[in-house]
Structure formats: C-alpha cells, structure tokens
Amino acid sequence: GENVEQHPSTLSVQEGDSAVIKCTYSDSASNYFPWYKQELGKRPQLIIDIRSNVGEKKDQRIAVTLNKTAKHFSLHITETQPEDSAVYFCAASTGWGGSQGNLIFGKGTKLSVKP
Amino acid sequence: NAGVTQTPKFQVLKTGQSMTLQCAQDMNHNSMYWYRQDPGMGLRLIYYSASEGTTDKGEVPNGYNVSRLNKREFSLRLESAAPSQTSVYFCASSDGVPNQPQHFGDGTRLSIL
C-alpha cells in the first residue's frame, strides 16, 4: 500500500523567510496530493491540493510542486508570518473508489515562525 | 452551513466502559471517515464508509466498530475502552468522487483512565 514520508518533522523560520516542507510517496498510481494545516487544538484544514496532471499550483503565498518521476511533492510558503505557525500534513491518494481512494497522511511538520 | 459536526467534544472514560462518538455532515457527501490522531503519528484511518450502506476497515480498526446510520451520519463505537485508545478522534467527509478533498470536524478529545 501507499506510504507517505514527510520531512522535516519540525521547522523554525524567521518572519518573512520562506519555508519548504517535502513529502515522498511510494505508490506510483497516486494522483491526488492535498496539504492540510492544523492549528493547535483545531481541525485539519485544506490549504492547497494538486492533481497529477499539473506540476505546480500557487495560491497567494502558498505553492505546491509535484515531481511524479521522483515521487515527491513539496509545500512552499513565502513571506512567512506568525499566523503560519501550525502543523502541516501532506497526503496522497490514488483517487479511485474503495480503499484506494483513501488519503494516506504524512506524520506532520510543526512550523514555527518567529517574529 | 455547519460542515462536519462531532459530539461530544471531550470525554473521560474508565477502562472497560463503552462509548459512541457521533458524526454528522450536511454537505451531502457520499464518503465518511474516522481517524485517530496521536502525537507524532499523524492521522491514522480507523474505518471508512465509501458510500451509504458500506463500511470498511482502515489502518487501525481493532477495538472499534462503526455504523453508517444514513447518508449524513457515521458513528464510531468503543465497546470496551482501553487506555491505548486515549486520543483525539476526527471525523471527515468527502464527495466520494476521485481527487476531492476531505473536510474534517472539530474532533473529540477522549481520555481513558
């Protein structure tokens, strides 16, 4: 089955710097890759997702890149702000029905943005 | 539009007690999921329901049962709670068609003494 590895587990940056979180996946059939942000004590919330027919997607200060050949995808946050501090989870799915449609999550990256 | 609603938000149980966690969604989603979240372990799938009338085991189903009551509601039952089941439980739902995101509830924080 699918396995998703996420690095680093913790990341500390200065306000205004960029942050990059990387994930690798094992199942070459995976074609959907969402990223979730979870603030302390809150629910995971989708911040951006990418499908395998594109290599990059941007939404304001957030971007995700996908390299299907190498089976890895990354989250890029530019001009970080203190409110970006949270735990970020990547996930992968083959997108098909039944169990193959389920998301497999990485173990999370705790991002701290220092003012 | 409430999205995914979980009850209760907090619960303390004694070992051996039983409990049902409730989840309801108002987005007309076909698929629903139960996860547990433990420190450093990410989100692990307990059970899921791809569509009304079906349920299947996820990664960590032992000690749990589920019921898909109707399209809106998906409950998780602990028949005989154990300290190892102390965790934060999240319910989620999705459209069920390929490549669509899951939407999470606020979670239930469960402690078993």
- The string of pLDDT tens digits covering residues B36-61 is 999 888 899 999 998 888 999 988 99
The answer to whether the CB of A87 falls within 8 A of the CB of A79 is no
Does the beta-carbon distance from A102 to B45 stay under 8 Å?
yes
Chain A CB within 8 Å of residue B90 CB: yes
Q: In what order do the strands lie in the sheet with A4-7?
A: A4-7, A19-25, A72-77, A62-67, A56-59
Nearest to B85, CA basis, from B58, B45, B46, B112: B112
Q: In chain B, which residues have pLDDT < 50? A: none
- The count of CB pairs under 8 A between chains A and B is 55
pLDDT value, residue B60: 93
Q: Which of A7, A39, A88, A102 is the best mutation test for B, with the most CBs of B within 10 A?
A: A102
pLDDT value, residue A101: 66
Does the beta-carbon distance from A34 to B31 stay under 8 Å?
no
**Position A99 pLDDT exceeds 60:** no
